[in-house]
């Protein structure tokens, strides 16, 4: 996923959960001085939704689940 696709994905997850997602622009090259911002995918009161390569990890009070597609994540979030 590109950064624009991730931004749209997190915005859609926020719409489903009813929690606004604040996008933090990732740094182009990580060093020990510039990697101090919190990453994306945090939803206060719910948990984390993180993109790891081809998989998406959803961590909440219900546990951690792994998904292969964005649509599967949307369906799961709608059931919560």
**pLDDT tens, position by position, for the chain (80 residues)?**
888 999 999 999 999 999 999 898 887 887 888 777 778 999 999 999 999 888 999 999 999 999 999 999 999 999 98
How far, in whole angstroms, is CA 23 from its chain's centroid? Answer: 10
Domain count, the chain: 1
- Supply 54's token pair: 């081809």
Structural domain including 33 reads: 3-79
User: Between the CA of residue 69 and those of 11, 30, 53, 55, 75, what are the distances in Å?
Assistant: 16, 27, 11, 7, 10
């Amino acid at each position: 996923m590109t950064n624009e696709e991730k931004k749209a994905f997190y915005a859609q997850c926020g719409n489903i959960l009813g929690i606004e997602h604040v996008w933090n622009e990732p740094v182009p090259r990580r060093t020990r001085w510039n990697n101090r911002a919190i990453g994306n995918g945090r939803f206060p009161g719910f948990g984390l939704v993180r993109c790891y390569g081809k998989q998406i990890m959803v961590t909440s009070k219900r546990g951690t689940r792994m998904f292969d597609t964005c649509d599967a994540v949307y369906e799961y979030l709608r059931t919560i």
